[in-house]
Structure 1
């Protein structure tokens, strides 16, 4: 679970952050927009029920962040995330979904989502997640996504991630767990009582072991392998 310090954190530079909402259920979409509009730092620049509709509007809207529910009928699945990032590579994608399936999580994070949040999370957690993503973090709210951390995936579903030869050390798991909660390198160093340089070295080794390019993908693969469990 995210620490109070992280929950209270305010990321600088998010003033006027432009957000586009993609959600197939209108009642959910309206509710989400209402929550976002309560915060002056955010500007909702558009919304749509489908990815096709959104892509047309986003050319003019130029959002910084997109929230999307890809796993409902018409949501487009992870292919929708891929389409968004291929068209707008600088946009940060937040998945806000009903799905607590590990396979959905892994696929979404691997194609480039920066956060995976369940719709059961509290509004303040949503707002803080957006701030963290805007500040360059990857976020998973484990307290609302317990199934994602409940042991390893079914090898039949995630066979490509099942090579146990590259398993992580306990310290590496601890560091990656904190990263999954949105912690910066500095915050990880503080909580693990190590230097910032040591954290960077651990993250570099984690990336090498898991054969990934960034911390977001590292979290996805580590979860798929069952390396991360809720403390």
Structure 2
């Protein structure tokens, strides 16, 4: 990703939005293009501004963040919008649903400013799930809720190398980590991930994670 990162903020608390705006607007490569107080406004704002990243609280009045993420994922005109769900540990029950709804990743709501800035940049370039230390735990926890795996015929389109890369993505690894594990260049790892998403018809890495667990390609804790 090159140029300025366009961010839309969605939270029903004005002070939270103001705090995030203050932190992010100090960065030369980030600009805030709009704010929303509920999910319906977030979807409308995404359509109006086409942000690179939508930082969105999961609990909001009227339309919540989960439903807003579903609506955005279902709109092909918004394929470029990366939804980052703002969560707290006591809202873990929502996380697996958010992944299935199309969220790119998660950010703990009381995160440090440096982590917020880093997360926006990571999400904008589509390089990895947000906050790996959080998402890896959540993936393992919620993968156990999938139930009986259902094989997906789309996976038959993948080469053995692509299946290997997809399993590592499902383990929460970044492109750089995948490259190191498989002795590839980061660019080659990124190309593999992009081709996998194209073959499977998914919009981002989080959907690869969901598919890997639901199909039985991987199981909780396999990566160690």
State whether structure 2 residue 31 is matched by structure 1 residue 38. Answer: no
Match of 1:109 among 74, 99, 114: 99
Give the Å deviation of 1:154.
5.2
1:106-185 map, 5 Å:
106-145=96-135, 147-151=137-141, 153=143, 155=145, 158-159=146-147, 162=149, 175-176=168-169, 180-181=172-173, 183-184=174-175
Match of 1:51 among 39, 53, 57: 39
Secondary structure of 2:219 counterpart: coil
Deviates more, 1:193-202 or 1:216-225: 193-202
Give the Å deviation of 1:122.
2.5
Measured in 2, the distance between the counterparts of 1:146 and 1:188 equals: 14
TM-superposition CA deviations, 1:145-180 (whole Å, max 9, x none): 57515546554xx33x6459x9xxxx76872256x3
Measured in 2, the distance between the counterparts of 1:34 and 1:98 equals: 21
Give the Å deviation of 1:43.
0.7
Determine the structure 2 residue equivalent to 1:29: 17
Measured in 1, the distance between the counterparts of 2:181 and 2:15 equals: 42
Between the two proteins, the alignment pairs up a number of residues equal to 209
Gaps of 5+ in 2: 156-163
Determine the structure 1 residue equivalent to 2:159: none
Measured in 1, the distance between the counterparts of 2:82 and 2:190 equals: 23
- Report 1 or 2 for greater relative contact order, CA contacts < 8 Å, sequence distance ≥ 6: 1
Measured in 2, the distance between the counterparts of 1:122 and 1:176 equals: 25
CA 1:117/1:223 → structure 2, altered by over 3 Å: closer, same or farther? farther
CA 1:106/1:221 → structure 2, altered by over 3 Å: closer, same or farther? farther
TM-score of the two chains, using structure 2 as the length reference:
0.69
CA 1:27/1:46 → structure 2, altered by over 3 Å: closer, same or farther? same
The RMSD of aligned alpha carbons is 4.1
CA 1:149/1:83 → structure 2, altered by over 3 Å: closer, same or farther? closer
TM-superposition CA deviations, 1:81-112 (whole Å, max 9, x none): 12234263332211122256555222222232
State whether structure 2 residue 219 is matched by structure 1 residue 227. Answer: yes
CA 1:140/1:194 → structure 2, altered by over 3 Å: closer, same or farther? same
Measured in 2, the distance between the counterparts of 1:149 and 1:90 equals: 24
Determine the structure 1 residue equivalent to 2:58: 70
TM-score of the two chains, using structure 1 as the length reference:
0.68
